[in-house]
């Protein structure tokens, strides 16, 4: 049985990749962010049947290829918790710090932007959105991962 819904989701591969360049303390913080995200998304599934947490985990794993810092990796794991669960930005701030909360907030704002139909207006809106919201380039890197 190899159905996506039956595949275990594990933080192990992410931690192994992160250990290549992060300190052990940072890896522990990363595990804590994963546990929070996993718990927040408990009972949520992707259309494929996989647990929802498989998505933020995959995003974080991609971010390790760019050697993003621990705050960015934590934000990648937490990026949908504020939008799709009962978690709040303030809760993220209290548990994981202001920097992680700001990254998560920036990612949420990127998702909130709606574009007009015309291609030119869409391109201009996208340019303005990047300038206005990307106070931290890591927001964009996490988003494109």
Model pLDDT for residues 105-139, shown as the tens digit of each residue: 988 876 665 555 667 666 766 766 666 566 777 87
Domains of the chain: 4-138 (1.10.3210.10)
How far is the C-alpha of 119 from the C-alpha of 67, rounded, in Å?
A: 34
84 is catalytic: yes
Length of the chain: 145
Q: What is the token pair recorded at 37?
A: 């995200």
Which one from 26, 69, 84, 91 is the annotated catalytic residue?
84
Percent of the chain with pLDDT over 90: 65
Model pLDDT for residues 68-91, shown as the tens digit of each residue: 999 999 999 999 999 999 999 999
Model pLDDT for residues 10-61, shown as the tens digit of each residue: 999 999 999 999 999 999 999 999 999 999 999 999 999 999 999 999 999 9
How far is the C-alpha of 119 from the C-alpha of 9, rounded, in Å?
A: 39
4 or 135: whose pLDDT is higher? Answer: 135
Ramachandran region of residue 3, left (φ > 0), alpha (ψ -120 to 50) or beta? Answer: beta
What stretches of 41-118 show up as alpha helix (H) in DSSP?
Answer: 54-65, 70-78, 81-84, 89-96, 98-112
Which one from 83, 90, 94, 111 is the annotated catalytic residue?
83
**Global pTM value:** 0.81
């Amino acid at each position: 049985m190899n159905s996506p819904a039956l595949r275990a989701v594990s933080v192990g591969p992410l931690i192994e990749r992160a250990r290549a360049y992060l300190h052990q303390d940072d890896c522990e913080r990363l595990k804590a962010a994963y546990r929070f995200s996993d718990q927040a998304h408990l009972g949520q599934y992707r259309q494929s049947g996989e647990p929802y947490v498989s998505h933020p985990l995959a995003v974080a794993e991609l971010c390790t290829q760019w050697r993003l810092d621990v705050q960015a990796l934590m934000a990648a794991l937490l990026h949908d918790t504020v939008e799709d669960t009962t978690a709040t930005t303030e809760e993220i701030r209290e548990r994981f710090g202001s920097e992680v909360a700001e990254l998560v907030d920036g990612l949420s704002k990127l998702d909130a932007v709606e574009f007009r139909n015309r291609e030119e207006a869409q391109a201009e809106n996208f340019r303005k959105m990047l300038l206005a919201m990307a106070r931290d380039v890591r927001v964009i890197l996490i988003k494109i991962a």
